[in-house]
Amino acid sequence: MVDATHTRFTANDRSYFSIIKKEIRRKAEEAGFDKKRLADLDLVVSEMTSNLHKYAVDGEILAGSFRDGDNHYIELISIDNGPGMVSPQKMMEDGVSTSNTLGMGLGSIKRLSDKFDIYSMKEWGTVVLSRIYKNNIATKSEAAARLDVRPLVIAMPGQKKSGDGSYYKITEQYFKLLVADGLGHGEEANHAVNEAVHAFRSCPYHSPSDMIKYIHQSIRGTRGMVGTVVVYDFEKKAWRVAGVGNITTRMSNFLDIKNLMSHNGIIGLNIPNTINDQEVSIDSYHQVTLCSDGIKARWEWSKFAGINRCDLSIQAAAIYKEFARQTDDMSVVMAKINLR
Same domain, 179 and 306: yes
Same domain, 63 and 157: no
Q: Report the amino acid identity of residue 289.
A: T
Confidence grade of residue 96 (pLDDT, cut at 50, 70, 90): low
Same domain, 84 and 118: yes
Range in 122-136, 140-154, 218-232 with the lowest mean pLDDT: 140-154
Q: Is the pLDDT of residue 102 over 50?
A: no
Same domain, 160 and 91: no
> Mean pLDDT of all residues in the chain?
92
Q: What is the pLDDT of residue 269?
A: 98
Q: Is the pLDDT of residue 71 over 80?
A: yes
Q: Is the pLDDT of residue 97 over 80?
A: no
Residue 158 lies in a domain: yes
Same domain, 38 and 170: no
Q: Is the pLDDT of residue 305 over 60?
A: yes
Same domain, 159 and 252: yes
Confidence grade of residue 103 (pLDDT, cut at 50, 70, 90): very low
In which order are the strands placed within the sheet that holds 257-260?
147-154, 330-337, 287-291, 248-252, 257-260
Q: What is the pLDDT of residue 320?
A: 98
The better pLDDT of the pair 55, 200 is held by: 200
Residue 225 lies in a domain: yes
Residue 190 lies in a domain: yes
Dist CA 73 CA 327 (whole Å): 29
Q: Is the pLDDT of residue 312 over 60?
A: yes
Confidence grade of residue 54 (pLDDT, cut at 50, 70, 90): confident
Q: What is the CATH number of the domain that holds 176?
A: 3.60.40.10
Same domain, 232 and 287: yes
Same domain, 242 and 316: yes
Q: What is the pLDDT of residue 92?
A: 62
Confidence grade of residue 57 (pLDDT, cut at 50, 70, 90): confident
Q: Is the pLDDT of residue 95 over 80?
A: no
Same domain, 123 and 158: no
276-287 as b/e, with b when 16 or more CB fall inside 10 Å? ebbebebeebbb
Q: Is the pTM of this model over 0.85?
A: yes
Same domain, 162 and 295: yes
Domain holding 184, by residue range, is 142-337
Residue 288 lies in a domain: yes
Residue 226 lies in a domain: yes
Q: What is the CATH number of the domain that holds 27?
A: 3.30.565.10
The fraction of the chain above a pLDDT of 90, given in percent, is 79
Number of domains into which the chain is organized: 2
Check if the beta carbon of residue 5 is closer than 8 Å to that of residue 170: no
Q: What is the pLDDT of residue 100?
A: 40
Q: Of 82, 115, 133, at which residue does a domain stop? A: 133
Q: What is the pLDDT of residue 101?
A: 38
Q: Of 133, 154, 172, at which residue does a domain stop? A: 133
Residue-wise pLDDT for 255-267, tens only, equals 889 999 999 999 9
Q: What is the pLDDT of residue 58?
A: 84
Residue-wise pLDDT for 5-53, tens only, equals 999 999 988 888 999 999 999 999 999 999 999 999 999 999 999 999 8
Q: What is the pLDDT of residue 91?
A: 60
Same domain, 184 and 333: yes
Average pLDDT on 214-223 reads 98
Same domain, 160 and 281: yes
Alpha-helical regions (H) of 70-229:
88-91, 105-112, 142-146, 187-202, 208-218
CA distances (Å), origin 33, targets 10, 40, 180, 266 = 24, 10, 31, 42
Q: Of 111, 133, 155, at which residue does a domain stop? A: 133
Residue 1 lies in a domain: no
The string of DSSP letters for 91-104 reads HTSTT--SSSS---
Residue-wise pLDDT for 144-181, tens only, equals 678 999 999 999 999 999 999 999 999 999 999 999 99
Residue 72 lies in a domain: yes
Average pLDDT on 248-252 reads 97
Residue 2 lies in a domain: no
Dist CA 278 CA 241 (whole Å): 5
